């Protein structure tokens, strides 16, 4: 919050060569490719918290301005993708949900009428992400709902170790990290899947530095490594973190050698 990073971007993609690793049937998850825009600095997680001997409370607060800025970010992304945005709320119960829906509807009509807008309740969305994940393009939602839904969606591809994220503000630095967080129990054992962290670097290149070609090169390298059979333990393989990282780095260098559009410097 101190950095003003209000937009948490979590891409969800299922690779063709990892369809067998998904907990769902291949015909359900094939071609899944959507992104969650989660508002990151408001809602329950940042509201006033109280605890007494008899109970506890967490205050959920959203301002119009907070909803407007994440809404514009998500609509802009949808316009550049497949032109569809699903706004997720709990407008049937929560006042913040009713406000959220009103603001999103207004921004859509005034600024992004070319983008298709659907409103959905969070409980229904949690079910539909499992039933028909490829129906989504951009999902826009508030802090807690976005946390839950994006973690749910991250396992569609076979492992949360594949999932990257970017946290962005209106200007200045961003924060780029894998969705899975830290795992101190396996630190130093060469066991973790580095793909989530490497794909977070691709998001840094794209959103933080404006280097679209380089970002694409990193993403293509990950896909090529997977297509050639590179697998860490969470994906049913026996490669360690270091070996997987080296394999992906080799793919980046191979692509750069054969392209006049990408200039990469590795130390």
Torsional class of 31: left (φ above 0), alpha (ψ -120 to 50), beta (otherwise): left
Asked if residue 133 lies in contact with residue 35, where contact means CB atoms within 8 angstroms, the answer is no
- Annotate the chain with three-state secondary structure: CCCCCCEEEEEEECCHHHHHHCCCCHHHHCCCEEEEEEECCCCHHHCCEEECCCCEEECCCCCHHHHHHHHHHHHHHHHHCCCEEEEEECCCCCHHHHHHHHHHHHHHHHHCCCCEEEEEEHHHHHHHHHHCHHHCCEEEECHHHHHHHHHHHHHHHCCHHHCEEEEECCCCCCEEEECCCCCHHHCCCCCCCCHHHHHHHHHHHHHHCCCHHHHHHHHHHHHHHHHCCCCEHHHCCCECHHHHHHHHHHHHHHHHHCCCCCCCCCC
- Positions annotated as catalytic residues are 45, 90, 123, 147, 151
CA-based nearest residue to 70, from 40, 31, 106? 40
Rg of the chain over CA atoms, in angstroms? 19
Task: Tell me how far apart the alpha carbons of residues 195 and 232 are, in angstroms, rounded to a whole number.
Answer: 10
């Amino acid at each position: 919050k101190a950095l003003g990073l209000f937009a948490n971007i979590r891409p969800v993609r299922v690779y063709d060569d990892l369809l067998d690793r998904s907990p769902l049937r291949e015909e359900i998850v094939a071609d899944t490719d959507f992104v969650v825009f989660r508002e990151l600095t408001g809602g329950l997680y940042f509201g006033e918290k109280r605890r007494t001997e008899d109970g506890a409370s967490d205050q959920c607060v959203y301002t119009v301005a907070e909803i407007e800025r994440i809404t514009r970010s998500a609509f802009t992304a949808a316009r550049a993708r497949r032109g569809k945005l699903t706004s997720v709320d709990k407008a049937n119960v929560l006042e913040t949900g009713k406000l959220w829906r009103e603001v999103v509807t207004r921004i859509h009509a005034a600024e992004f009428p070319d983008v298709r807008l659907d409103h959905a309740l969070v409980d229904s969305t949690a079910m539909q992400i499992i039933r028909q994940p490829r129906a989504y393009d951009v999902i826009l939602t508030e802090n807690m709902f976005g946390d839950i839904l994006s973690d749910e969606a991250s396992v569609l591809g076979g492992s949360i170790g594949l999932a990257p994220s970017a946290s962005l503000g209106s200007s200045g630095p961003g924060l780029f990290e894998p969705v899975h967080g830290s795992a101190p129990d396996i630190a130093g054992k060469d066991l973790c899947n580095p793909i989530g962290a490497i794909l977070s670097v691709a998001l840094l290149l794209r959103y933080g530095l404006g280097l679209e070609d380089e970002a694409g090169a990193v993403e293509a390298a990950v896909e090529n490594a997977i297509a050639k059979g590179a697998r860490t333990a969470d994906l049913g393989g026996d490669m360690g973190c270091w070996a997987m990282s080296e394999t992906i780095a080799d793919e980046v260098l191979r692509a750069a050698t054969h392209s006049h559009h990408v200039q990469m410097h590795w130390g």
